[in-house]
Amino acid sequence: MQIAIIATEGSMMSAVTGLADMFWITNQSLPAGEGDFPHPRFDSIIVSHDGKPVRDAQGRTIPVDHAFASVPAPDIILACGMALGTDRLPASPINTAADWLRAQYQRGAIIGGACAGGYMLGEAGLLDGKACATTWWLYPTFRQRYPRAKMVWGKPLVEDGNIITTGGPLSWADLALHIIRRQAGKDAARIAADMAVADSQPLSQQLYAPRGFLNAIDPMLLRAEQLIRYDNPAITVEQLASALNLSPRTLHRKLAGLTQESPRHFITRVRIESACLLLENPTANIRHIAAACGYSEDTAFRKAFVQLMGMTPAQYKRWVADRNGTQPRIDPQEEP
């Protein structure tokens, strides 16, 4: 199985060579056709438009194996992070790479984009009509530049057909492990992750994005956030629409266009974002926080929290405390 990793001027060297190393580690860990988890061999190559070395984001040389034209039919093509300008757009031209990606996708190749590598997919038109992820701080830029893409807020990885996108400058590791899992199975991905000392499942970007960041893209979202967070955390969809002087149908349409969310999901997200802020207090009581965020039942709060954040409230509280170097206080009766 041939995997082509695109290198352009300004690419992140760690991403380009890291992807190649991850597939090499997999081959070393699980020789094809042997052991309990036989898998296809992952043969990775680094490609540029002319086959010549390119300069990375810091001016260092990235070696290249082949030109686009000399690699007629790779099974998988991966684009990764690159230097961006002050406008948060690629600092170097990527049109040639985008044209090649488009042709290869039409031929049937699987295309992956990590972090700003998604720009290559966007310029190729491959994100049109597709659910896709990007780094949380690039979400507004991608949404504006590629209005036909179905941007998914907070997801670390999204696969839609033969298009796979991830968010975060170091999310190339998540992309590589997903490719391994997709092509060789979960056991192969787990062993590769263990060998690389990496998480086999990526964490939600919502753990890292500032609370309320997404809502800053539009005044209506800011107003809706204020109504939920401060006025009435238990607000219903109908009450929110009325407070915004909209019909429920119009609210649904506006939210779908701005955030790809339903009104119910928007309300839940704001509630959980509020809960995350409160959980940063190491002495906070989880049950009290659930009530303060509009939940009358602890089980409903836990379920919504896990669905959005990928961990329980107690786990999140410990995660925050570990990052901050503090000791959380968790009542054993609240949650195991």
Q: Strand 66-67 relative to strand 61-62: parallel, antiparallel, unpaired? A: unpaired
Cα–Cα distances in Å, from 130 out to 99, 109, 159, 239, 240?
Answer: 18, 16, 9, 32, 29
The class level of CATH for 2-206 reads alpha beta
Residue 92 tokens, joined: 């170097």
Residue 334 pLDDT class (50, 70, 90 cuts): low
Q: Give the residue, 30 or 262, on which the prediction is more confident.
A: 262
The one-letter amino acid at 96: T
For range 71-90, the mean pLDDT: 95
Q: What is the pLDDT of residue 37?
A: 47
DSSP conformational letter for 116? G
Q: Which residues, 6 or more positions from 203, have their beta carbon under 8 angstroms from its beta carbon? A: 156, 310
For range 146-154, the mean pLDDT: 93
For range 149-153, the mean pLDDT: 93
Q: What is the pLDDT of residue 335?
A: 58
Q: What pTM was computed for the model? A: 0.85
Other C-beta atoms lying within 10 Å of the C-beta of residue 232: 13
Domain with CATH 3.40.50.880 in the chain: 2-206
Q: What percentage of the chain has pLDDT greater than the value 90?
A: 75
Domain with CATH 1.10.10.60 in the chain: 210-324
The class level of CATH for 210-324 reads mainly alpha
Among the ranges given (48-62, 195-209, 226-240, 310-324), the one the predictor scored with the smallest mean pLDDT = 195-209
Residue 322 pLDDT class (50, 70, 90 cuts): confident
Residue 201 pLDDT class (50, 70, 90 cuts): confident
Please tell me the distance from the alpha carbon of residue 256 to that of residue 127, in angstroms, as a whole number. Answer: 17
Residue 185 tokens, joined: 């199975």
Altogether, the residues listed in the chain come to a count of: 336
Is the confidence at residue 330, as pLDDT, over 90? no
